[in-house]
Amino acid sequence: YPKKAEPLKAKLCVEGNEMLYRFCAEHNIPHKKTGKLLVATDMLEEEYLEDVYRIAVENQVPGVETIDDNKVTQYEPNVKAVYALYVLTSGIIESTGLVDKLYRLAESYGAIFLVGNEVFEIEPEGKGFKVKIRSGTEVEIFKTRIIINAAGLYSDNIARMVNPESSYWMDPVKGE
């Protein structure tokens, strides 16, 4: 992310990458830093990747290097590219294990997960919120200091319940 436009996002992206792999190692979550090739197949894409590289350097992203078409072929003979970035710190994480561990840790710290319910009203109350949910035919009301909006396609509705002035909106498109 461009540091001038989004300084916090730029900083947290780099720190978060390191923290995520450390978390996985500490909690025995399968992961592997495989590296990643971002390839350009024409001059326009090359210009774009040069800009991405400049931003990565500006943000002090470790392990990012530019490579030419010959080096790309050494990494992967079936890829035809004019230019590429190699990102050493990229990799794969077993996402189910990660989410399961985060879920269990959150529960151990007192988080309560209310899945399969419909939130139909959220009102500010003191330093927190009063939340009304529908579970089948039952209506339940509870108070909380923190709301984590994980409503997926309905997250914009939740955002507007918390803040009617919210400009956040979803425009779901199949395949994205």
Q: 108 to each of 27, 36, 60, how far by Cα in Å?
A: 15, 35, 35
User: Is 102 a domain residue?
Assistant: no
pLDDT value at position 19?
Answer: 96
Among the candidates 46, 67, 96, a domain finishes at 96
Is a pLDDT exceeding 90 seen at residue 77?
yes
Tokens of 71: 């080096």
- Taking residues 83-91, report their average pLDDT: 95
User: Is 43 a domain residue?
Assistant: yes
CA proximity to 80, closest of 47, 48, 45, 51: 45
Among the candidates 65, 96, 127, a domain finishes at 96
Higher pLDDT, 6 or 49: 49
Cα 17 to Cα 90: distance, rounded to the nearest angstrom:
8
Which amino acid is it at 94? E
The pTM of the full predicted model, rounded to 2 decimals, is 0.73
82 and 136 share one domain: no
User: Is 56 a domain residue?
Assistant: yes
Structural domain for 52, as ranges: 7-96
80 and 18 share one domain: yes
Per the rule left: phi > 0, alpha: psi between -120 and 50, beta: everything else, 133 is beta
